[in-house]
Amino acid sequence: MRAVVQRVDRAQVRVAGEIVADMESGLLALVGVAPGDTASEAESLARKIVNLRVFEDEDGLINDSLIDQGGSLGVVSQFTLMADCRKGRRPSFGSAAPAREAEPLVEALAAAARRTGVPVVTGQFGASMSVELVNAGPLTLLLDTGGVF
């Protein structure tokens, strides 16, 4: 699994003009799933995200996690994160898991994050979504359960 995690002041997801997710400060995770990814990886990635020390503590040092800060997590599926752009100009999406495999893993990641007590909002799997966010910092991280990043 792969995630682009952004620290945000706020974020909102719309589908067909309707708001499906709305959050204040926290982290927004765009999540891609590869064939062969597992529920265990989804759980591990969720724990990693909610425990990332990317927020300022009371001394102004980047020491606090999402759990420490009491922020929210937005989870949005994004199969394009698995794109291979090494050849030519047209990305290949053959490295993305089919929807029937990917959707349960994105849901498992969100569920695992909820179990930590973090408020979680999600996009709509498979929909064409408009994601609006205010990146705080900016702070953007790439995570990959395969150890690429």
79 as an active site residue: the answer is yes
As a whole number of angstroms, the distance between CA 110 and CA 107 comes to 5
Active-site entry in 80, 93, 140, 149: 80
116 as an active site residue: the answer is no
145 as an active site residue: the answer is no
Active-site entry in 6, 12, 79, 122: 79
Determine contact, residues 123/129, Cβ cutoff 8 Å: yes
Active site residues: 78-80
